[in-house]
């Protein structure tokens, strides 16, 4: 129990190190994240030679991890996404889609109201009517003492990846 709480960031890094690049103590908007993990994938089609590329697209994933010791301020994260999404993700002519996971670790218990807010958290944005892709957000809260997690609908399938099992 205590081991999990004290070393969650190291457990997270170990789980993600094979596919993700890491940056620590990075500000996005007004929020300082303890860890940002980035995964980029590029797919391309070409004729005979790689230099004769005629089609490519990129898909990206960003995990923004923050340990919090106080109540979750949902408005703060909603504002971050509305006002700073292009600072979080990279959008270019080859961008197809990005997933941003906001991962919060807390030792505080969540009441029913907070759990409902986590479950209902939603953010989706298209760039240039979808021509430059889109972004969806997973919102996940991990209680590090209980090894229990909560997520929005978009993050349900990934929740187990962030628990200590």
Give the global pTM.
Answer: 0.86
Say if CB 152 and CB 139 are below 8 A apart: yes
Concatenate the DSSP letters of all residues of 80-132 into one string: HHHHHHHHHS---TTEEEEEEEEEEEESSPPPHHHHHHHHH---EEESGGGTT
| Closest by Cα among 63, 67, 62 to 7 | 67
Write the pLDDT tens digit of every residue in 130-157.
677 889 999 999 988 888 899 999 999 9
Q: How far is CA 73 from CA 31, 67, 104, 124, in A?
A: 11, 13, 11, 19
2-44+54-162: CATH topology: Trna Endonuclease; Chain: A, domain 1 (3.40.1350)
In this prediction, residue 2 carries a pLDDT of 42
Residue 15 tokens read as: 């789980």
3-class secondary-structure state, position 26: strand
Q: What is the pLDDT along the chain (165 residues), one digit of tens a residue?
A: 444 456 888 889 999 989 999 999 999 988 999 999 999 887 777 777 777 766 677 888 999 999 998 888 888 999 999 998 888 888 878 778 899 999 999 988 888 999 999 999 999 998 877 677 889 999 999 988 888 899 999 999 999 888 866
């Amino acid at each position: 129990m205590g081991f999990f709480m004290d070393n969650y960031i190291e457990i997270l890094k170990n789980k993600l190190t094979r596919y993700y690049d890491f940056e620590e103590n990075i500000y996005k908007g007004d929020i300082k994240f303890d860890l940002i993990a980035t995964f980029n994938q590029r797919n391309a089609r070409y004729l005979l030679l790689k230099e004769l590329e005629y089609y490519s697209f990129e898909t990206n994933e960003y995990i923004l991890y923050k340990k919090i010791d106080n109540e979750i301020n949902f408005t703060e994260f909603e504002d971050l996404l509305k006002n700073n999404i292009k600072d979080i993700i990279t959008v270019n002519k080859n961008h197809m889609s990005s997933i941003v996971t906001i991962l919060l670790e807390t030792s505080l218990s969540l009441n029913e109201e907070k759990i409902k807010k986590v479950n209902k958290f939603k953010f989706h944005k298209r760039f240039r009517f979808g021509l430059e892709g889109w972004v969806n957000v997973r919102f996940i809260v991990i209680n590090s003492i209980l090894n229990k997690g909560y997520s929005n609908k978009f993050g349900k399938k990934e929740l187990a990846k962030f628990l200590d099992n």
